[in-house]
Structure 1
Amino acid sequence: MLQQHPGLYFAPSGKHRYGMFCTEDILADSVIEICPILIIPGEQAREIVRGYILYEYYFEWKKDSIALALGYGSLYNHAATPNAFFEADYKNQYIIFKAATDIPSGTEILVDYHAGNPDEQVWFEIK
């Protein structure tokens, strides 16, 4: 099931090259998007995508797999203080994006790539 908040769009971003925005206000705790995923199983999954553009777009999935989110799921930019978050639905194999705060129309939708683990490092320069 692909579900998206009305008005989502991909556009140039002042934070990174492009990012996700919405033409409508999004209320805190609202579902922004439910993304189906493609799972790449096995301990070698990260090595399979290393060196390819996909390396920058995957999500950790359980202990030894990675997932590629369909829809807009891999296009949300990172922020240490995000206005949205994501959670894994392992049973149904979705990644669900929700608003952490009210997000006004035209504001970039940002998630924390660390998924709540501040000790993890990102692989790019944070602007």
Structure 2
Amino acid sequence: MLSFFLSFRDAMALIGVKDFGEKGRGVVALKNFSRGDLVEEAHCIYFPKNEVELANRTTLREYTFVAGEGLLLALNYGSLFNHSNSPNIDYRVDQKERKVRFFAAKEILVGTTFL
């Protein structure tokens, strides 16, 4: 089985947080990414089934990913990626390892905001 590993220190050299003023913060590319490149591997906090309803009544619902009957809250940069109807990143939820991995959906150039 192929195992992915991207340390937080390594990720800091690839992506960064930028303040867009009234629009808030977003994550931008600090290097060019090709389609399929791993952008971020986010460790997560797991919310079991009995806590899902409570989590969904809070702001957390905007930052969680479905994992079976529970939810995962992505840490590191994972909760800072902006939303878009035309995203440039894809994600895969790994329930077993409680991680979310984000991949470039297309070529992404330096300075581009991840959506």
**Range class of TM-score, shorter chain:** 0.7 to 0.9
TM-score for the superposition, normalised by structure 2: 0.81
Match of 1:35 among 25, 42, 46: 42
Contact 1:2 1:36 in 2 (8 A): no
- Could you say which residue in structure 1 is the equivalent of 2:111? 106
- Runs of 5+ in structure 1 lacking a partner? 111-127
CA RMSD of aligned residues (A): 2.1
> 1:2 deviation in Å?
5.1
- Runs of 5+ in structure 2 lacking a partner? none
Q: More helix by proportion, 1 or 2?
A: 2
TM-score for the superposition, normalised by structure 1: 0.74
In the superposition, relative to structure 1, how do residues 15 and 83 fare at CA in structure 2: closer, same or farther (>3 Å)?
Answer: farther
In the superposition, relative to structure 1, how do residues 13 and 22 fare at CA in structure 2: closer, same or farther (>3 Å)?
Answer: same
In the superposition, relative to structure 1, how do residues 15 and 94 fare at CA in structure 2: closer, same or farther (>3 Å)?
Answer: farther
Q: Is it true that 1:10 corresponds to 2:17 in the alignment?
A: yes
Identity %: 28
Contact 1:2 1:35 in 2 (8 A): no
Equivalenced residues, count: 108
- Could you say which residue in structure 2 is the equivalent of 1:94? 99
